[in-house]
Chains A and B, each alone.
Chain A
Amino acid sequence: MTVDSVTIALVGSGGAGAMTAGQMLLDAAANVGWYGLMSRSTGPQIRGGEAAALVRLSPTPVHGPGDRFDLIVAFDWQNVERFAAELPLSDKSVIVTDPSQGEVPAVLAASGAKQIELPIKELAAKIPGGRVNMVGLGAVAAVIGLPRAGIDAVIRKALGKKGDAAVQASSAGIDAGAKEAAGWGLDLELAAPNRGDGVRWNISGNEAAGLGALKGGVKFCAAYPITPATEILEWLAPNLARTGGKLVQAEDELASIAMCLGASFSGVPSITATAGPGLSLMTECIGLGVASETPVVIVDVQRGGPSTGIPTKSEQSDLNIAVYGLHGDAPHLVVGPTSIGDCLFTTQWAVHLAEALQTPAIVLSDQAMGQSRAIIDKPADAPHKAERLLATDLGGGEKYKRYANTESGVSPAAIPGMPGGEHTADGLEHAENALPSSQASDHQKQLDKRLRKLTSHEFGDAWADIEGEGEIAVVTWGSSTGPSREAVRRLEAAGRKARLVAIRLIFPVQPAKLAEALKGVTKVLVVEQTHGAQFHKFLRAHYDLPGEVSVFSRPGPLPIRAREVHETLVSLI
């Protein structure tokens, strides 16, 4: 008997190499044709401390974390209590433990999980240059039936440069672990991979967002580091340089957003990435972008809030500040990727929209997408590019009007270097000719036009992911989409029908499109990861939701699992 998904945790303190082993497991699984998802859990220590690599593998695409862990391999049990809540187990789970590291902690043992002793340290010590993480990886490989060739390729790639001895030490460690595990007789062999011809990628959400920026045509980034967004900036630094763009490290987020506005004002598409604390600092300048009609993209990789909150854990609680956080009536774009791979599409789309509509776009990613890696099918190429409507016929008889009140609301832009287009862009309310004005008629006109350019734009099908049919629908967004999608598929697999609507375009809202998507629906379940049900309240403010509406809303740091959404759905039917 094989299983169609397996969820594994590799746990250990700093030097054990749990993360490396997890990474190699994911890479090896990808090599042989499985899909996968790896997230990491670490304590507050900057380096070292307890850590866990959380890996889920399957022959079909993986949408989110598993319901519970099938297999935990622990190199030691230091401080594991601190994240025991992130390791749900059942009596069907298996814990592999090294007897030299003491007993399995009671919080985990209480699950009734089967315990298997493996002298990991002792086995590693027998191998010259042997490491515990390789012994553990070998055991996992044997349990799930990961072909040896897949691991060998990963070892060669990772350690080839260090020479034959290092490769041999790792191989011997894998062998030692595999040999022991061969006799365990566990029913955790993963169903055979289904390797089609398509190209697969191994990518994190943060890398995907960076790539989306490049593909959209971004050429400037100003950066201030913050967990969990830093990887976007660090990925962009070399890759912008390679493609003719520039990244500069700013002194704070007030500066990073301001620098981006300066670059964009000069016609160079720009992006910055941050998390909640940085977004809070940026809000005044985002408002300047709205008023001065200067495009800019801000990726907010959300983490637990408020304040410094829980920097390394995920939440969707920046929705309110992203939509409502600017002073004045300041409509702007807010979009949210619905998966790790979708961080590429959505960021690229945001660059396109910001430039086309000459306004800031906030991309709401989160830690769960940003810092997890997935094996996915190579995303299809999207056509979206930065294309700003530029002024023509400058320098003729009529003086250029930067904020001309056009039908679409988008005014042709003049950028420095264009003779005849000279004007002063302004955050002060202004007349069409850009000169400051506090006249009621100018304020009304400019407010109207800045809203109209958003509401009259046709966003096409990308506004949401819509799947399935039936009278019950899950309405969700962001990384709550993965577990919701899996829950809906489970219902379908059991012969029941359900719909999934994952809204990608948060603002401007699309009431007619959602009404169409929910036609015939009698029950709606809203799924989100906040304490205050922010998304539900947002939907209530802007949409008519049909029938009976229920909410599954919970704050971080624990991820929402498909089982929870599925159980809620079943209880509603």
Chain B
Amino acid sequence: MDTHLTENVPAPTPHDYKSDVKPIWCPGCGDYSVLAGITRAMANMGMERHNTVVVSGIGCSSRIPAYTSVYGYHTVHGRSLAVASGVKLARPELNVLIFGGDGDGFSIGGNHFLHACRRNVDMTYIVMDNQVYGMTKGQASPTTEADWCESKLTPEGPGVNPIQPVALALACGANFVARGFSGDPNEVARLIVEGVKHPGFSVIHVLSPCVTFRPEQRGWKSTVHPYGREPTDDPNAAMRAVLEDDGFGLGIFLAGNRRPFQPGSAVTSTIAQIEEGFAV
């Protein structure tokens, strides 16, 4: 975190980071609480609003930027991580966070997820996993169970195994990996603060129920449990532990030591000098 509010200004509150736009979400949607966790984290860190950029793709969860009061870019489906990488690489002094869903991040944007993890640009990705495409009214996503038969598109179930986002993030080289649950926005806020403070690419997998198309996810509040181990800086140890996890363990899995990717640049030539190279 390089940018904080200056002294002598009253400490910001989560409210300062909310816009006055009313979310389009269904009543009871988990994303409300994630939004609360995000604004709480921003307030806790005293992030400068004008020096903070939030980027998203398309989906219910990707609507968050307009509900905040910082700079935002609501882009296209699946490309948020690439857009955000451009922001951070071009303007390293900005705080960059990305919000999106399981479909946005792991299906149409899956390739960018892989490469964002291995590229390790210093930014924080909050992916709201409801194991469904909410915005397009309830189709299977890459995290949906193979035998989930509620979608008209795949009435017999998608028939393919879901991915494990946390294991995938670790396998692809993400430097900080954590899991939260929208039912505990304070914990979500804490994980975001830790992720933002940690150098490099931070993935925060947040279980966030879609009450409309996956009403059974209301039961997640009794399924989730603390992950129960101390965070490690060893990706191999984190990976071994995650393979034993049931997908509902909450906490920080890895806080690694990889150096963030941030090409520097220093002016060493004028354009006129470069042009001289073409002279016959």
A-side contacts of B53, CB under 8 Å: 265-266, 416
A241 closest partner in B (C-beta): B265
Any B CB within 8 A of the CB of A456:
no
Distance in angstroms from A284 CB to nearest chain B CB is: 5
- Pick the interface stretch among A195-203, A482-490, A546-554: A195-203
Distance in angstroms from A375 CB to nearest chain B CB is: 6
B-side contacts of A266, CB under 8 Å: 53, 86-87, 90-91, 94
A422 touches B74 (CB 8 A): no
Taken together as a complex, chains A and B put the C-alpha atoms of A11 and B263 apart, in Å, by: 42
Query: Which of A201, A215, A428 interacts with B271 by CB under 8 Å?
Result: A215
Distance in angstroms from A27 CB to nearest chain B CB is: 8
B-side contacts of A191, CB under 8 Å: none
Q: CB-defined interface of B77-89 with A at 8 Å, one 1/0 digit per residue? A: 0110011111111
- Pick the interface stretch among A253-261, A492-500, A556-564: A253-261
A201 touches B278 (CB 8 A): yes
How many A-B pairs fall under 8 Å by CB? 187
Taken together as a complex, chains A and B put the C-alpha atoms of A243 and B82 apart, in Å, by: 24
Any B CB within 8 A of the CB of A16:
no
A207 closest partner in B (C-beta): B278
B274 touches A265 (CB 8 A): no
Any A CB within 8 A of the CB of B40:
no
B115 touches A422 (CB 8 A): no
B271 touches A214 (CB 8 A): yes
A422 touches B71 (CB 8 A): yes
A-side contacts of B88, CB under 8 Å: 262
B-side contacts of A254, CB under 8 Å: 78-79, 82, 111-112
Q: CB-defined interface of B238-280 with A at 8 Å, one 1/0 digit per residue? A: 0000000000000000000000000101111111001100111
A251 touches B111 (CB 8 A): yes
B72 touches A425 (CB 8 A): yes
Contact residues, B53-92 vs A (CB, 8 A) = 53-55, 65-66, 68-76, 78-79, 82-91
Which one of B84, B87, B90, B91 has the greatest number of beta carbons of chain A within 10 Å?
Answer: B90
Query: Which of A246, A252, A287, A415 interacts with B89 by CB under 8 Å?
Result: A246
A-side contacts of B65, CB under 8 Å: 424
A259 closest partner in B (C-beta): B86
Any B CB within 8 A of the CB of A166:
no
Contact residues, A363-385 vs B (CB, 8 A) = 375, 378
Q: Which applies to chain A's interface (DSSP): helix, strand, loop or mixed?
A: mixed
Query: Assuming the A-B contacts A244-B266, A417-B91, are A270 and B86 also in contact, with contact meaning beta carbons closer than 8 angstroms in the complex?
Result: yes
Query: Assuming the A-B contacts A201-B279, A261-B86, A285-B79, are A424 and B74 also in contact, with contact meaning beta carbons closer than 8 angstroms in the complex?
Result: yes
B56 closest partner in A (C-beta): A424
Contact residues, A146-201 vs B (CB, 8 A) = 199-201
B-side contacts of A259, CB under 8 Å: 82-83, 85-86, 89
A-side contacts of B71, CB under 8 Å: 415-416, 421-424
Any B CB within 8 A of the CB of A420:
yes
Query: Assuming the A-B contacts A423-B71, A425-B74, A436-B66, are A263 and B87 also in contact, with contact meaning beta carbons closer than 8 angstroms in the complex?
Result: yes
Query: Assuming the A-B contacts A261-B75, A428-B74, are A220 and B111 also in contact, with contact meaning beta carbons closer than 8 angstroms in the complex?
Result: no
Which one of A200, A260, A422, A434 has the greatest number of beta carbons of chain B within 10 Å?
Answer: A422
Contact residues, B14-37 vs A (CB, 8 A) = 21
A262 touches B280 (CB 8 A): no
Query: Assuming the A-B contacts A201-B278, A211-B275, A243-B269, are A220 and B90 also in contact, with contact meaning beta carbons closer than 8 angstroms in the complex?
Result: yes
Taken together as a complex, chains A and B put the C-alpha atoms of A288 and B86 apart, in Å, by: 15
A29 closest partner in B (C-beta): B280
A-side contacts of B70, CB under 8 Å: 422
B278 closest partner in A (C-beta): A201
A-side contacts of B21, CB under 8 Å: 435
Interface residues of B toward A: which range? 35 or more
Taken together as a complex, chains A and B put the C-alpha atoms of A263 and B87 apart, in Å, by: 5
Any B CB within 8 A of the CB of A30:
yes
Any A CB within 8 A of the CB of B198:
no
Distance in angstroms from A340 CB to nearest chain B CB is: 11
A-side contacts of B280, CB under 8 Å: 27, 30-31, 199-202, 375
Any B CB within 8 A of the CB of A570:
no
Query: Which of A207, A222, A250, A427 interacts with B75 by CB under 8 Å?
Result: A427
A203 touches B91 (CB 8 A): no
Contact residues, B110-126 vs A (CB, 8 A) = 111-112, 114-115
B76 touches A420 (CB 8 A): no
B112 touches A262 (CB 8 A): no
Distance in angstroms from A261 CB to nearest chain B CB is: 6
Distance in angstroms from A435 CB to nearest chain B CB is: 6
Any B CB within 8 A of the CB of A464:
no
Any A CB within 8 A of the CB of B49:
yes
Taken together as a complex, chains A and B put the C-alpha atoms of A240 and B265 apart, in Å, by: 8
Any A CB within 8 A of the CB of B107:
no
Query: Which of A199, A242, A265 interacts with B87 by CB under 8 Å?
Result: A265
A203 closest partner in B (C-beta): B278
A-side contacts of B49, CB under 8 Å: 419, 422
Taken together as a complex, chains A and B put the C-alpha atoms of A57 and B3 apart, in Å, by: 59
Distance in angstroms from A67 CB to nearest chain B CB is: 26
Taken together as a complex, chains A and B put the C-alpha atoms of A265 and B79 apart, in Å, by: 14
Taken together as a complex, chains A and B put the C-alpha atoms of A292 and B79 apart, in Å, by: 14
Which one of A199, A261, A418, A424 has the greatest number of beta carbons of chain B within 10 Å?
Answer: A424
A424 touches B66 (CB 8 A): yes
A262 touches B76 (CB 8 A): no
B82 touches A420 (CB 8 A): no
B-side contacts of A265, CB under 8 Å: 53, 73, 83, 86-87
Any B CB within 8 A of the CB of A239:
yes
Distance in angstroms from B61 CB to nearest chain A CB is: 15
Query: Which of A207, A255, A264, A436 interacts with B115 by CB under 8 Å?
Result: A255
Which one of B50, B263, B267 has the greatest number of beta carbons of chain A within 10 Å?
Answer: B50
B-side contacts of A31, CB under 8 Å: 280
Distance in angstroms from A157 CB to nearest chain B CB is: 11
Which one of B73, B79, B93, B94 has the greatest number of beta carbons of chain A within 10 Å?
Answer: B73
Which one of B54, B66, B68, B111 has the greatest number of beta carbons of chain A within 10 Å?
Answer: B66
Distance in angstroms from A401 CB to nearest chain B CB is: 14
Taken together as a complex, chains A and B put the C-alpha atoms of A418 and B72 apart, in Å, by: 13
Any A CB within 8 A of the CB of B151:
no
B86 touches A220 (CB 8 A): yes
Q: CB-defined interface of A399-434 with B at 8 Å, one 1/0 digit per residue? A: 000000000000000011111111111111000001
Query: Assuming the A-B contacts A243-B269, A261-B83, A378-B279, are A427 and B91 also in contact, with contact meaning beta carbons closer than 8 angstroms in the complex?
Result: no
B-side contacts of A264, CB under 8 Å: 86
Any A CB within 8 A of the CB of B51:
yes
B278 touches A262 (CB 8 A): no
Any B CB within 8 A of the CB of A118:
no
Q: List 8 A-B pairs, Cβ < 8 Å.
A: A240-B265, A241-B265, A243-B269, A254-B111, A261-B83, A262-B88, A378-B278, A422-B49
The 3 tightest CB contacts between A and B, nearest first, are A262-B86, A424-B72, A259-B86
With A270-B90, A417-B94, A422-B49 already in contact, 4 other A-B pairs whose C-beta atoms are closer than 8 Å: A243-B269, A252-B111, A261-B73, A421-B71
Q: Using CB atoms and an 8 Å cutoff, list the residues of chain B in contact with chain A.
A: 21, 49-55, 65-66, 68-76, 78-79, 82-91, 93-94, 111-112, 114-115, 263, 265-271, 274-275, 278-280
Q: Using CB atoms and an 8 Å cutoff, list the residues of chain A in contact with chain B.
A: 27, 30-31, 199-203, 207, 211, 214-215, 219-220, 222, 239-248, 250-252, 254-256, 258-268, 270, 284-285, 287-288, 292, 375, 378, 415-428, 434-436
